[in-house]
A and B are shown apart, each in its own frame.
Chain A
């Protein structure tokens, strides 16, 4: 959210400018909704990863890799962000679907290629034997796959929302033409 655009908006209200278009008002509201969801998602990530570190440090170390367990909570927070924005209708921001479409491409790329690249240089026997549990802990192979799956889910949710949004836009355009 840009404070500059909100300042411009406030300046118009203070100057009693009666010509603020409805789009500007909705854009500002959408920015506020998005920033509220972003704040919640970030708090969720900070709290979850903090509790996880404390548990791993003071209690049982349940995961093979510290960084991948943190990454999993990051991916969960991101998935929450995508779903909450999709539910509130603020996923696309004020710039439309173009930015988000490229983001979906990156998400699919990350979710598919990173696990393949990391896991492909392991010996198949070692990989499949220790895929879920290694040394009594959740293995890093499983965590990589899980992080990839969460990112893939976020990408699919985004792709579905983009598809629906574009269909809706097309239908509205056709209605206007008629």
Chain B
């Protein structure tokens, strides 16, 4: 969110120049998105800190410390999109093209990387080893979540457009 646009918005009000409804809705949408972004980042920070804490002091549940972060990151991205949809600010103020592109890119990357990982990795062995999730498991789960994120984004964007069209 840009503070400059918010200041302009306030300036218009103070000088008695009316903001049109679109400007007000745009500012509201920016603030709602920032609000949800803060929530998402707090959840991601909390999850990664708790994961490190548990693995360091109690039980090492994954083979490496870094790979579970990919899963947390993807879960947080999915959470962000769902919350944005619920608050009516998924598409942003620039229309639906950007989000459709992001979703298509996520699906393409997820499928390509997942396929390359599964087909090209000859040493790929097991998903669990010594009571821990292996890196292979974390990477595959993250790529699957990436595809889920892309598909979900397209569905939510269409539903959001339809909802706005009905209104």
Residues of A that sit less than 8 Å from B by CB: 1, 3, 6-7, 10, 13-14, 16, 20, 25, 28-29, 32-33, 35-36, 38-39, 42-43, 45-46, 49-50, 53-54, 56-58, 65-67, 70-71, 74
Residue of B7, B24, B49 touching A74 (CB-CB under 8 A): B49
Q: Are A1 and B31 in contact (CB under 8 A)?
A: yes
Residues of B within 8 A of A1 (CB): 31, 34-35, 38
Q: Are B38 and A38 in contact (CB under 8 A)?
A: yes
A153 to chain B, nearest CB (A): 20
A14 CA to B22 CA, complexed, in Å:
11
Known A1-B31, A3-B35, A65-B56; further 7 A-B contacts with Cβ < 8 A: A3-B31, A3-B32, A16-B18, A32-B6, A33-B3, A45-B45, A50-B66
B15 to chain A, nearest CB (A): 12
Knowing A7-B28, A46-B44 are in contact, say whether A36-B52 is a contact too (CB < 8 A): no
| B64 interfacial by beta-carbon distance below 8 Å | yes
| B118 interfacial by beta-carbon distance below 8 Å | no
| CB within 8 Å of A: which B4-22 residues | 6-7, 10, 13-14, 18-19, 21
Q: Are A50 and B34 in contact (CB under 8 A)?
A: no
Interface range for B: 35 or more
Knowing A29-B7, A49-B48, A67-B53 are in contact, say whether A10-B24 is a contact too (CB < 8 A): yes
Residues of B within 8 A of A14 (CB): 21, 24
| CB within 8 Å of A: which B37-88 residues | 37-38, 41-42, 44-45, 48-49, 52-53, 55-57, 64-66, 69, 87
Residues of A within 8 A of B65 (CB): 53, 56-57, 66
Knowing A1-B31, A1-B34, A67-B49 are in contact, say whether A50-B56 is a contact too (CB < 8 A): no
Residues of B within 8 A of A20 (CB): 13
A85 CA to B25 CA, complexed, in Å:
27
| B1 interfacial by beta-carbon distance below 8 Å | yes
Residues of B within 8 A of A67 (CB): 49, 52-53, 56-57
